């Protein structure tokens, strides 16, 4: 019932505006005023669109920077060591604070990932992501580590994201890279 009242109000307002425009269009001065009004409205819409595009561009640049820092931290955490006479990069984990929900979605939209819950949103208490395609998410150079003795690659990742706090924890396991 409330929606119908709002719709009726909007329709009545639109009808009043059309009537005012029609009345103004009857005289030369009115037509001139309408032209000035239309020009101002178009200019305002153009400026609003320009501001929106600039904000989107800045958000995308920020997201790319955060994703790069996450990939760099994963790469830095891959340290080769000798255990039991064998070279290896042990499994590891990294954590990040204040990761925005949009950055989280963009980051894990790049690879084949399994989400729990499947249909997630920023009001969920926590979101878990698993993937065996870390190279598609972070880039091939960010998921490789080792030395001249052995090369290792991240074989699977598991991420846990808490939207309320922006806490993102990523753990990974490694395998010999060929």
User: Looking at residue 2, what is its pLDDT?
Assistant: 75
Q: Give me the pLDDT at residue 84, please.
A: 84
What residues in the chain have per-residue pLDDT under 70? 177-178
The helix or strand, by DSSP H or E, that contains position 106, with its residue range, turns out to be helix 101-108
State residue 129's pLDDT score. Answer: 95
The residue whose two tokens read 């119908």 is 4
Nearest Cα residue to 115 out of 129, 102, 125, 105 = 129
pTM assigned to the model? 0.71
CA quadruple 150, 155, 161, 166: dihedral positive or negative? positive
The backbone region for 158, taken as left when phi is positive above 0, alpha when psi lies in -120 to 50, beta otherwise, is beta
pLDDT of 177 reads 67
- What b/e readout covers 101-128, taking b as 16+ CB neighbours within 10 angstroms? bebbebbbeebebebeeeebeeebeebe
Token pair of 31 as six digits = 């037509």
Instruction: Encode pLDDT of 24-40 as tens digits.
Output: 777 777 778 778 888 99
- DSSP code of residue 125: S
């Amino acid at each position: 019932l409330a929606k119908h009242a709002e719709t009726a109000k909007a329709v009545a307002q639109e009808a009043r505006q059309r009537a005012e425009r029609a009345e103004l269009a009857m005289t030369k001065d009115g037509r001139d005023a309408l032209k000035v009004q239309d020009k101002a409205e178009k200019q305002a819409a153009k400026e609003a669109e320009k501001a929106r595009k600039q904000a989107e561009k800045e958000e995308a640049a920020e997201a790319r920077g955060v994703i790069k820092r996450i990939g760099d931290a994963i790469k830095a955490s891959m340290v080769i060591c000798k255990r039991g006479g064998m070279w290896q990069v042990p499994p590891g984990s990294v954590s990040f604070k204040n990761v925005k929900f949009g950055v989280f979605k963009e980051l894990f939209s790049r690879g084949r990932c399994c989400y729990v819950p499947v249909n997630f949103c920023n009001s969920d208490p926590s979101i878990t992501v698993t993937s065996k395609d870390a190279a598609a998410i972070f880039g091939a150079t960010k998921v490789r580590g080792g030395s001249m003795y052995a090369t290792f690659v991240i074989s699977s990742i598991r991420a846990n994201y808490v939207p309320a706090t922006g806490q993102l924890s990523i753990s990974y396991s490694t395998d010999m890279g060929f």
